[in-house]
Structure 1
Amino acid sequence: MSMSLPIIPNLRPPSLRYHPRGQESNLLLRLTRKSPKMSKVPNVKHLPRFNSFLYPRPFQYDLHIFSQVLGTTLPSSTSHSHQALKSEVDALKARNNELQSQLARFQTNVETIHRHNVELLRNNENFNSELAYLRRLYEEERVHRTTAEEQNEVRRDELHQAQVYLEMPDTISGADVVQLAISLNTEVFQFSASISEASSRREVHKLTADDLSTLRNLVGANLVDILHRANTEPDNDTDAEFLLQASLQTVLTNNTRQWTTLFDLNGSERSKNLFASVYHNIYCTSPQSVSARWRALVYSRHKYADPMDARQILFHELEKTTTTVLCALGYKSSDQLTSGLPAIADAIIKLDRAMGEASLSQNLSVISIEPGTRFDASSMDNTDSGPARDGTVVCCTDLGIMCAERRDTSRPPVTGLLRKPGVLLDSAFDL
């Protein structure tokens, strides 16, 4: 049995039609909302009298009454929908709670991962710093080992050189050095003879004071006097070619003697004298093995450190002096001059290195005779074709070889001639 709504003037009952799902809130608002025409509860005395059965008490909008009315008038399907909606809301709430829990766990995991990532980054920075430090240590150790290996290599080379220096024997004999000197003298003689035969002299040439001064420094005063007399005395029968040949032989012999006494080729005159003085002191105060090895070391590492450069220096010196002699005597220089000097330069260097580097047990050196010396057959040879006789040395044309050996530092060295130098006497010039 259903209750019918009372009929109230100017009052529309709330709509009881079925509201779709999701509009229950609107329905409740409409049920609880008062009519705009009845802002207040109507006064009973002003209400018309109605049947008390029909109106047992004054009508008031009561939420409870409307709820009862709604519950009695709504269809059963609406109640079921409400229950389903409630169940769905509960399920959504449960799902929401579950998602909230998952979100909380996810955020916790994210924070944990973040903290772990920060820790890993910090560890990575520490590892990078440690790696950079280890790399620096490795590089320093590598440089240290490389330097140590280089120093060890230098020390090994020094020890090897010292061993060779101390144990190196003679690689050439005195007789071999004499043969080298003979070969050099032959080269000088042949070159001088060929130049004197091939050179053309000017018809008239008077030696000037400058020419005489230049020649005096190159060939000596005695030969210059003969050249001057031959140039100024018209009745002088001295052969001009012979004078030129003797002059060239003398200047080349002097060049060889000076070259073999040098230890420094490119230094100043003071430097050259210093090396010679040092060697003289070592030779006079040290055993033969020490002085000879010192000389050999200076030759190989300093004088002939660049053999081609040394050869070029010697060639230019020979070319300059021979050209000076030719021009001073009034002769023209020729291509034959430059073509013959390289062989002489090679012979001089070969002889010099043999005496300075290869001979250690004895001190070998070239020897020449000073002009003006009285002839002595025991210490010199007369290179003139005539028989040897007394006279004065005009010039030295062939180099000799002297041998000196110091057996005891407290005694002077033992000396001897392996080959006598050759000279021209004043009698050879028909003065």
Structure 2
Amino acid sequence: MSTASAMSAIGSAHAALPQRVLVVENSRAYTSILREAIEQQIELPVEVAATLADAARLLDTKDDWFLVLTGMVLADGDRDQILDFFTSRRLPTIVVSGVYDEELRQRALQQQIIDYVLKSTPDSLDYLVWLVRRLERNRRIGALVVDDSLSSRSFIASLLQAQGYQVAHVADGSSALRTVEADPGIRLCIVDQEMPMMDGIELTRRLRQLRARDRMAVIGVSGSTDPNLIPRFLKSGANDFLRKPFSREEFFCRVSQNIDQLELIGTLQDLATRDFLTGLPNRRNFLEHSERLLAESAQDPITVAMIDIDHFKHVNDNYGHEAGDQALRAMAQVLHAHTRPSDYSGRFGGEEFCMLMRGLDRHAALAHLETLRAAVQAIELDIDGRPLRFTISVGACQRDAQFPNLHKLLGEADRHLYLAKAGGRNQVRGLEEAT
């Protein structure tokens, strides 16, 4: 597969992914518990069938099926018929069995069933909810397989596709580097060691120069029995290592564990860098990111704006603090919508927000901030039948010889914000020379 084809394969995910889960089970009590857990914890719609005939009717009447969880004891089908029914329809399927049957387990896994789960174990419900959530999230994750053997990389790619990943595969390290560099959606890379020109360890080292451990997991694979290979991979930046041949279950567990860790790191980073209420970058994040943007844009016009919700105390006093939180979230949504890809915005604290804009002259910056101000003024929230409207005041400053750095830009923007408040609120001050 060429680099262009690899990128196309990963970028082909549907904008609207199927969401519906089918549970096929003859126990009403277990079905009720499982359905409630999936709907409440993952917020996916669940349909229930007690027989294969019921399942067929549901599958034929709706087309947005994401996943099937099926028991092995149904009135109109034995275990072989049940497996054949779902695999023939090419539906991602999890077998949920009341008893452990090694022969059934082996057959299910050989037929590309995603997993075989015992429902009698104490933690089986938690595991099934985790598994459904993991498979649902996988559909938005790009994975790349790098192996010079077509049969080997096709096999690994098929395992990843069965788990829902958007998968591409390439035959050499150079193609892998180009693919990863061009596609930020790749979060997982499976790298074989034995490749010509560039082996897996060298490729892993170069991949780490493109993407850090907290952004992409790299798993090395090899059929070699060399005991030094694992530490060499790990010291070169790999997150994990699998020795060939490996089972489908081991592969699934290792990959899922690494992706879970990536998501946990992302969650912790969000907690540290984002405002909990609005989801916008917090003050520290905004300041650090803006400093970098200023350094990277030495020749571009830079405008910094301080934004404050007018009479916010009155909102809390007259409508309640929950209404105040709704106002802050609505404000954040409008601010986010008016933050261009080249700009950066955040919540400074309380009812105060900040925005840094790149590449706009004074006239264009003023027009952009006026558009933002008007959009906020158009917000109307329904608070228990009472309409809530609010406005903002904006102070802005553009970088020049007098205000060359972020500290001075923020100070001057804050001064103009005070003037906007004193001048009657619901206005933009600091860029008036452009009018």
Provide TM-score, normalisation by structure 2: 0.19
Larger strand proportion of the pair: 2
Higher relative contact order (CA 8 A, sep 6+): 1
- Structure number with bigger Rg: 1
